[in-house]
Amino acid sequence: MCGFLTEFSFNSNITGKSIFTNLLGLSKHRGPDSTEIFSCDHYQLGFNRLAVLDLSENGNQPKYSPSKRYHVVFNGEIYNYKELKTQYKLKNLKSTSDTEVLVHLLDLLGVKDTLNALNGMFAIAVMDVQANTLYLARDFAGIKPLFYGMSSNGLVAASQFNQVFKHPWFKDSLKLRADVIKEYFAFGYMQAPNTIYKNIFQVKPGECIVIKDNETVERFSFNKEIATKEEMLKCFEKNQTKAALMKAVERQLVSDVPLASFLSGGIDSPLITALAKNKKPDLRAFTLSVKDDALDEGAQASLYAKELGINHEIQQVKETDLISEINKHFMFFGEPFGDYSSIPTYLITKKAKEHHTVMLSGDGGDELFFGYPRMLDIVKNRHWFKLPILIRRPLIRLASKLKLNKTWGPFHYKTIGEWVQGKQAYIFKNQLNEFFKDAEFSNEFKELYNFEHANTNKDLILKLRENEFFGHLQRVLVKVDRMSMANSLEVRVPFLDKEVVRETFNRLPETFQSSNDLKKTLKLLMLDFYSSSSINNKKQGFAVPMEKWLKGPLKKEVKTLVFDTAFYGAGLIKTNAIKDYVKDFYANKHEAAWGVWHIYAWQKWAQCEGLIQNNLN
Identify the helix (H) or strand (E) that includes residue 38.
Answer: strand 34-39
Angle between helices 178-187 and 593-608 (to 10 degrees): 130
* SS3 label, residue 90: coil
CB 20 within 8 A of CB 37: yes
CB neighbour list of residue 562: distance below 8 Å, 6 or more residues apart = 578, 579, 582, 599, 600, 603
The 10 Å Cβ neighbour count of residue 92 is: 7
SS3 label, residue 231: helix
Residues 6+ apart with CB under 8 A from 406: 400
- Give, to the nearest 10 degrees, the angle between helix 457-470 and helix 472-486: 20
Q: Is 175 helix (H, G, I), strand (E, B) or coil?
A: coil
Cα–Cα distances (Å) from 322 to 113, 327, 561, in that order, read 45, 10, 21
CB atoms within 10 A of CB 198: 14
* Widest Cα–Cα separation across the chain: 76
DSSP code for 384: G
Q: What is the DSSP string of 454-514?
A: --SHHHHHHHHHHHHHHTHHHHHHHHHHHHHHHTT-EEE-GGG-HHHHHHHTTEE-S--SS
Shortest CA distance to 43 belongs to which of 64, 71, 79? 71
Tell me how far apart the alpha carbons of residues 100 and 84 are, in angstroms, rounded to a whole number. 11
| Of 2, 40, 208, 608, catalytic | 2
Choose among 82, 94, 95: nearest CA to 54. Answer: 95
**Is 362 annotated as belonging to a binding site?**
yes
3-state secondary structure of 83: helix
How far apart are alpha carbons 517 and 529 in whole angstroms? Answer: 20
Q: Which residues contact 327 (CB under 8 A, 6 or more apart)?
A: none
Rounded-to-integer distance, Cα 237 and Cα 152, Å: 53
CA torsion, ordered 381, 386, 390, 394, to nearest 10 deg? -40
Return all residues near 133 (Cβ < 8 A) that are at least 6 apart: 127, 210, 211, 212, 217
Peptide bond connecting 62 to the previous residue in cis, omega within 30 degrees of 0: yes
Which of these, 256, 164, 146, lies nearest to 205 by C-alpha position? 146
Q: Is 235 a catalytic residue?
A: no
What are the residues facing 156 on neighbouring strands? Answer: 7, 149
CA-CA distance, 331 to 345, in Å (whole number)?
Answer: 14
Helices (H) and strands (E) in the chain, counts: 27, 19
Q: Which amino acid would we find at residue 300?
A: Q
Distance from CA of residue 362 to its chain's centroid? Answer: 13
**Was 438 annotated as part of a binding site?**
no
Q: Residues 159, 3: contact at Cβ < 8 Å?
A: yes
The reply to whether 541 sits in an annotated binding site is no
| Annotated binding-site ranges for ATP | 361-362
Q: Any idea which residues carry the catalytic annotation?
A: 2
Q: Which residues are annotated as a binding site for L-glutamine?
A: 98
